Structure 1
Amino acid sequence: MTIIKGISALQENVNFLKNNGKTIGFVPTMGALHDGHISLITASKAENDITVCSIFVNPTQFNDPKDFEKYPITIEADIEKLELAGTNILFLPSVTEMYPDGFDKVPHYDLGVIETILEGKFRPGHFQGVCQIVHKLLKAVQPHNLYMGQKDYQQCMVINRLIQIENLGVKLHTRPTLREKDGLAMSSRNMRLNEEERKNALTIYRVLNYLKDHIEKESIAYLLDRSNLMLTDNNFRPDYVSIADAETLVPVENWDGHQKIVALIAAYQNEVRLIDNMALD
């Protein structure tokens, strides 16, 4: 695996590969890698000649500075995992490499309603930061295919919007959420959970399954009230529990049995904020 820290060196390598007919798959990450990330590497390797992974903890997408400070950094372990997975190139830039002019001249993207609801509502500016760094990375890597995990359901929708409005010419592949054996969605933030918090964290998965099992039996208002109660009874502070249209994330009040819908949850276990989702139809 080749490790590259500069944009110009990365583009020189990628252009050489593309000029020789190689297809490029790209997996952007913030490190603290787990098997969910590696599944994206595996998918890219199966569908492309060359797989590029980036590790960059992006300051502009953290609306809470404490969350940024506490984000786990495990670079040596990450490199080992990427090498074992057969990654071709690791792009490992610095903050000054990605933001040479600082944070005052970053672009603003017209994302529409999608950045005003759910994650957008509770993390103001988050999706603008996500788009700022993903746009920079896509311009640097210039891949044919982009791979992201479905656990960040709304983020995948935002990135699709970014690709459209900026005409970036890359295809987004959304891969299923990988879970631990007990059902907890794999997440870098799980590293911050203590033993008791880790045990309680499974409640989110139980709530999602409860919603899936009862969506045809109870009203949505009742299901949401019950879900919030299940979370608070297990020491969670919910930001939201939502049952929404799977394509727009507009909340659904009455389900006709045919509309594609998804349940989405964001909640704090003490200081650690966890998110998850599940298709209900």
Structure 2
Amino acid sequence: MKTVTNISDLRQQVKDWRQQGLKIAFVPTMGNLHAGHISLVEEAHKHADKIVASIFVNPMQFGENEDIDSYPRTMDNDKRQLIEAGTDLLFTPTPEIIYPKGLAKQSYVEVPNVSDGYCGESRPGHFRGVATVVCKLFNLVQPDVACFGLKDYQQVQVIQTMVDDLSMPIDIVPVPTVREASGLALSSRNGYLSAEEKAIAPALQQNLQWLAQEIQYSRKTSPDHSPDFIGLAKKAAAAIDATGMKTDYIHVSHAHTLQPASEDDKELVILAAAQCGKARLIDNLQLSLA
């Protein structure tokens, strides 16, 4: 695996591959990699000849009360995992390379509607930072395909909408969430969990599954009436809070627009976030009522 830190070296390598007629897949990350990230690289191999990954802790997506300096940096271990997964090129830019004018003077990309609510409401400016850095990385790498994990379902929808709206010739490949045996979604944030907190954290997914079952049962037994999405979500939130976690949000939404679910919607997603000790956990569950 070749590692580059500057834009010119990145573009030269991509140009060489293009001249050979090779297809390129891209996996952007913030490092501190785990099996979930590696599953993105494994999926990328199914769609392209060459795999480019990036590690960049993006300051634009961190809020005022979020400490970017405390984000784990594990570059040596990250490189080892990427090499084992067959990554061809790793791009590791600094903030000065990505934002040479500084954040205050940086042009930005904003994706309306799907960026609103949920994590977008809890973390103002977060998805502006995500969309901006992903757009810039797409311009630098110019991949044919890019892989993103469905653990952050809203982020995937933001990126897909940006690609569609800006007519980017990139196929976005959503990759299923990798979970521990307990059902807890793999996340870099899990490193903040104590042993006691890690024991209760799976309750987030467990209650999403309960909520999905209740919605499906309601639709089956009362097909002419809409399930009580809000009431059932409140019960799930109360159950999550009873474990010692603190629910940030839990909503039943249209799977693509992320608008609140209506009685006519068939494809749904349950989106949730909860604080567990120092870790803010997010998770989701898709379900079909067709």
Alignment TM class, shorter chain as reference: over 0.9
Letter of the 1:275 counterpart:
I
Determine if contact 1:246/1:262 at 8 Å carries over to the other structure: yes
Determine if contact 2:3/2:91 at 8 Å carries over to the other structure: yes
Determine if contact 2:230/2:251 at 8 Å carries over to the other structure: no
CA distance in 2, matches of 1:104, 1:193: 34
Match of residue 285, structure 2, among 258, 268, 278: 278
What is residue 221 of structure 1 aligned with on the other side? Answer: 230
- 1:110 Cα offset (Å): 4.3
Task: Count the aligned residue pairs.
Answer: 279
CA distance in 2, matches of 1:200, 1:64: 28
What is residue 230 of structure 1 aligned with on the other side? Answer: 239
What is residue 9 of structure 1 aligned with on the other side? Answer: 9
CA distance in 1, matches of 2:73, 2:215: 39
Please state whether the residue corresponding to 2:172 is helix, strand or coil.
strand
What is residue 157 of structure 2 aligned with on the other side? Answer: 157
Q: How big is each residue's C-alpha offset from its partner over 1:27-71, in whole Å with a ceiling of 9 and x where there is no partner? A: 000011111111110111122110000000000001144342322
Letter of the 2:13 counterpart:
N
Q: Equivalences for 1:1-281 in 2 at 5 Å?
A: 1-218=1-218, 219-252=228-261, 255=263, 259-281=266-288
Determine if contact 1:106/1:132 at 8 Å carries over to the other structure: no
Please state whether the residue corresponding to 1:42 is helix, strand or coil.
helix
Query: Percent sequence identity over matched residues?
Result: 37
- 1:223 Cα offset (Å): 1.3
- 1:280 Cα offset (Å): 2.3
Letter of the 1:245 counterpart:
H
Letter of the 1:176 counterpart:
P
TM-score normalised per structure 2: 0.92
Letter of the 2:205 counterpart:
Y
CA distance in 2, matches of 1:114, 1:222: 23
Structure 1 residues 94, 109: closer, same or farther in 2, change over 3 A? Answer: closer
- 1:181 Cα offset (Å): 1.2
CA distance in 2, matches of 1:159, 1:220: 27
Determine if contact 2:110/2:127 at 8 Å carries over to the other structure: no
Letter of the 2:177 counterpart:
T
Moved more, 65-74 or 196-205: 65-74
Determine if contact 2:110/2:131 at 8 Å carries over to the other structure: no
Please state whether the residue corresponding to 1:112 is helix, strand or coil.
coil
- 1:106 Cα offset (Å): 2.0
Letter of the 2:103 counterpart:
F
- 1:278 Cα offset (Å): 0.4
- 1:167 Cα offset (Å): 2.5
Please state whether the residue corresponding to 1:28 is helix, strand or coil.
strand
Letter of the 2:117 counterpart:
I
Listed as ranges, the gaps of 5+ residues in structure 1 are none
- 1:140 Cα offset (Å): 1.0
Structure 1 residues 124, 50: closer, same or farther in 2, change over 3 A? Answer: same
Structure 1 residues 64, 234: closer, same or farther in 2, change over 3 A? Answer: farther
CA distance in 2, matches of 1:181, 1:255: 34
Determine if contact 1:145/1:173 at 8 Å carries over to the other structure: yes
CA distance in 2, matches of 1:185, 1:67: 22
CA distance in 1, matches of 2:24, 2:155: 22
Listed as ranges, the gaps of 5+ residues in structure 2 are 219-227
